[in-house]
Each structure stands twice: as structure tokens, then as C-alpha cells.
Amino acid sequence: MSDEQEKKSQPKGRFPFTVVRHVVQVLILVLFAVPVVAAGWSLFGGTLGGNDAIRTPADLPFFGTLSSSSVFGITLLDPFAVLQTIAASKSFSLDWLIGLLPLLVVYALIRGRVFCGWVCPVNLLLEIVDWLRKKLHVNVEEHAVPRHAKVYVALGVLVLSAVLSFPVFEALSPVGFIVKGIVFGGVAGGITLLAIILAELFWGHRVWCRSICPLGGFYEVVGKVGLVNVKIDHETCIGCNKCKKVCLCDPEILEPAVDGGDSIVRAGDCMLCGKCIETCPVKALDIKIGR
Ligand code: SF4
Ligand code: SF4
Ligand code: SF4
């Protein structure tokens, strides 16, 4: 089925998850860029502010990146970045714990990989690459990589951070590259991002996010306890498997629900992207709070 036919076959009256998600992803990038511009700097590391400019964006109520930000003086830290810092420095600070708790609690309560689906700019970029690939009719032979590999990569990153005494993924992160690059400039992580795009084009569909990204692996573990889930109505489902074909994570995470063994998508790596819900022709899928 072509993209156009697929689009026409989608049921009407569903919440437009994909459009809303993309708007949120772009707004988050804008949100991080605004303080820098407001402080009189230019983006990409430029500092063109005049005499009236605020000396530093950190003086504003909101400032930071996805790894570390400050909202009205409250520090928000990416929990996985903190774990890497603890491993690298072999020390622990109560401030780090206080800084990581708000994000950890929010993501744990909702679903860890909601970060991947709704916040991470790499996901947005890879969806654009995927769309382009379809438009240009570039067919890729899929090379399956087990989806839980990313959890072991996350563990490996922590061990490596301890051995090398620096937070390894923070230095190479494509997520940091996009946000920090827009705000401050810099190329760290650019090679990782290029490798991810090449893997997307020539190795397999979403292989980085599905199976390799350590941040995704960390949030997969956190996501196991999430309270917001995709639920299925077994009486309505006709077993067409269209939901599996569009899943942004991996078709197999929908299997227990579609096969009748579970009433929700329980896998920790569901990113609540809503693609399956939008696509289901009989509206058998929806969002449910609670497990
Ligand atoms: S798996 Fe990694 S790169 Fe992909 S969306 Fe999640 S955090 Fe971003
Ligand atoms: S199960 Fe549905 S909501 Fe979860 S990642 Fe797959 S398509 Fe997105
Ligand atoms: S949940 Fe919807 S899309 Fe998925 S198999 Fe059932 S009917 Fe098809």
C-alpha cells in the first residue's frame, strides 16, 4: 500500500498524535533556543549582544539543554547523564539527586520513552529521513538487531564512563548535538548523528532508536512502570496487524496485546507515539491510564 493509500485508509476522528507530537518536538527546540536569543546572543554559539544584553542566558528564568536546565532556579538534570557523571567521577552529590528526581519521577509515572516519542529531536529527524526514504523509493534490506540490545548498551556506557572517567555518551550524544549545537554551536555528537542517518538509510529502519541508543535503553527500563499505556479492545480488533506495521518502536511490542494475551502494550520501550492508535481501522486502540 502506498503512503497516500495508507493515509486515506486511516480512520477519521482520531486524535492527530503525529501532528501534535511534531509540533511539541519543534516547540521544545524553540524553547531551548529562546533564552539564548533573549539574552542578546545569536544561536549556534554566536555572542552578538549589545551593551544592553543580559550577560548570560543563565540569568533568565529558563535556560539549559536537554541534559541540564534551570527553571526558576530549580535545576533539572537528565537522569542518565547524572548516572554517567556518578560513574565517571566515582562520587555522588545530593544536589544531583535533587536535580534528577523531577524528570525521573515524571517520566516514570507517564512512561519513560515518552521522552523518545515527544521530546527527542533525533526521533523527529529520523521520521523525516524515513519519510524521505519512502518518497524517494529507497528500499533497505532490514538487518534485525534485538531491541533490548539498547539496555545493554546503556550498561556498557556506564561501565565505560567509570573506566575512562568521563561521561561517554554525553560526549558523543546525537541528542545533545542537536540541542546544544543549535543553542551553543559545536560539533560533538555530529559524527554519531551522521552514522545514525547512514544506518537508517542503508542498514535498517529505525535501528538506532529501536535497538542501540543507550538513552532509549535507559528509558526502556524506566518505562516498565509507566502508568500511561496503549490499551486494546479485543472485541473490536480484527487482527489486521496494521498497528504493528506503523509502530515507531518495534512491531513485536504490540504482539501480546494484538494476540489477546494482554490488554495493554506493556513493553517498556513503547514511546506513546500514538501511530498505532491513529492507524487502527476499527478504533480498537486507545490511551489508558493505569496498568
Ligand atoms: S532512542 Fe535515543 S535517539 Fe532515539 S528517540 Fe530515544 S533518546 Fe532519542
Ligand atoms: S505501540 Fe503504538 S504508541 Fe507504542 S511505540 Fe508502537 S506505535 Fe507508538
Ligand atoms: S488493534 Fe487495530 S490495527 Fe491492530 S490488529 Fe487490531 S484492528 Fe488491526
Regarding pTM above 0.85, the answer is: yes
243: Cβ below 6 Å to ligand 3?
Answer: yes
> Residue 122 C-alpha to ligand 1 middle, in angstroms?
6
> Residue 229 C-alpha to ligand 2 middle, in angstroms?
9
Q: How far apart are CA 43 and CA 40, in angstroms?
A: 10
Residues of the chain with pLDDT under 50: 1-2
Q: How far apart are CA 240 and CA 9, in angstroms?
A: 13
258: Cβ below 6 Å to ligand 3?
Answer: yes
Asked if residues 241 and 127 have their Cβ atoms less than 8 Å apart, the reply is no
pLDDT digits (tens, 9 = 90+) for 143-166: 778 999 999 999 999 999 999 999
The pLDDT value recorded for residue 48 is: 55
277: Cβ below 6 Å to ligand 3?
Answer: no
Q: How far apart are CA 159 and CA 117, in angstroms?
A: 27
Residues ≥6 apart with Cβ < 8 Å to 87 = 158, 159, 161, 162, 167
Phi first, then psi: what are they for 16, rounded to 5°? -75, 70
The pLDDT value recorded for residue 1 is: 47
The pLDDT value recorded for residue 51 is: 53
User: If residue 213 lies in a helix (H) or strand (E), which one and from where to where?
Assistant: none
Nearest protein Cα to ligand 3, atom 7: 237
Asked if residues 196 and 202 have their Cβ atoms less than 8 Å apart, the reply is no
Task: Quote the cell numbers at residue 86.
Answer: 556518578
The full set of domains in the chain, from first to last, is 14-226 (no CATH), 227-289 (3.30.70.20)
For 92, what's the count of Cα atoms within 13 Å in the CB-facing half-sphere?
Answer: 5
The pLDDT value recorded for residue 46 is: 66
Task: Quote the cell numbers at residue 175.
Answer: 541528542
Q: Which atom of ligand 1 lies at the shortest distance from residue 123's CA?
A: 5
